[in-house]
Amino acid sequence: MANYTELKGKVAVITGAGRHKGLGEAMAKRLASEGCKVVITDIGHAAGEHMPESAIGSSDEMQQIVAEIKADGGEATSFACNVLNADEVKAAAQFAVDTYGSLDIWVNNAGVGYLMKPILDMDVSEWDTVLNVNLRGTFLGIKFAAEQMVKQGNGGKIINIGSQASKSAFAHASAYTTSKHGMNGITRVAAQELGEHKINVNQICPNHVTTGLGAWQNSHFSEVTGKGHDKYMQDMRDRIPLGRPGLQDDIAKACAFLCSEQASYITGECMNVSGGEEYH
């Protein structure tokens, strides 16, 4: 399925990629199909009150995804990494270099999208968890990936995974919306600062995708809005010009494109992949 032959042999790290049905898994598998050597990272274990086992990719699940990539002829390995920990993020970058010889692509996909509450009901610790994972984690990924790419001197690609919430506000999602708006800023600043090193920094902004997390969001907001699941999903389809929510593969395709030389003159963009629902 390779469309971008120049990606063959490139080394890519994808954070938050250790869960089946997730965007990270889809992007990892797509980049592997393009010939990239892929490092899948996720926390690997529960990491406190707001990051239970149900919300993270386990070590076993990461290994399963690696095995699936290898079974399809790709090259992949895994590395446990909590994106809140600077030492672990730096170690993930070094692991890619030690394992495959370089670091060419870094995808900041790890994020928290399941602490959805009105401002009046949201605990400060919940707010901090969302902002820290979604923004601190992205900052650390950019910083340590760019350090290695600058050292190599061959440029590179950094992709941040934003959201429709990067562009529009959503009630009951104050921390999430704030974090994803903030991601726009760091994407654009990083693009300005790193352009001289031939490092492209871009962001993908999906609308709703029914990943494992997305299924929880469907259930949650169906209840919050009082619409029920079927009505909530039909209303979603009705407001999307192309008539359906996003698919994991839609985001994986966009990621592969932005990593390719076809996108060599694109940087600082926060690209909507939303079926026409989001146009800002």
For residue 7, give the nearest of 271, 253, 274, 279 by alpha carbon.
253
DSSP designation for 58: B
User: How far is Cα 273 from Cα 279, in angstroms, rounded to an integer?
Assistant: 9
Q: Does the active-site annotation cover 176? A: yes
- Kindly tell me the burial class for residue 83, based on how many C-beta atoms sit within 10 Å of its own C-beta (0-12, 13-18, 19 or more): buried
User: How far is Cα 78 from Cα 69, in angstroms, rounded to an integer?
Assistant: 11
Q: Does the active-site annotation cover 180? A: yes
DSSP designation for 9: T
Cβ atoms of 66 and 78 closer than 8 Å = yes
Structure-token pair, residue 45: 């274990």
Q: Which of 4, 29, 157, 176 does the annotation list as catalytic?
A: 176
Q: Provide φ and ψ at 273, rounded to 5°.
A: -130, 85
User: How far is Cα 143 from Cα 68, in angstroms, rounded to an integer?
Assistant: 30
Cβ atoms of 249 and 27 closer than 8 Å = no
For residue 273, give the nearest of 144, 136, 167 by alpha carbon.
167
Q: Which of 29, 37, 167, 180 does the annotation list as catalytic?
A: 180
- Which residues are tagged catalytic? 176, 180
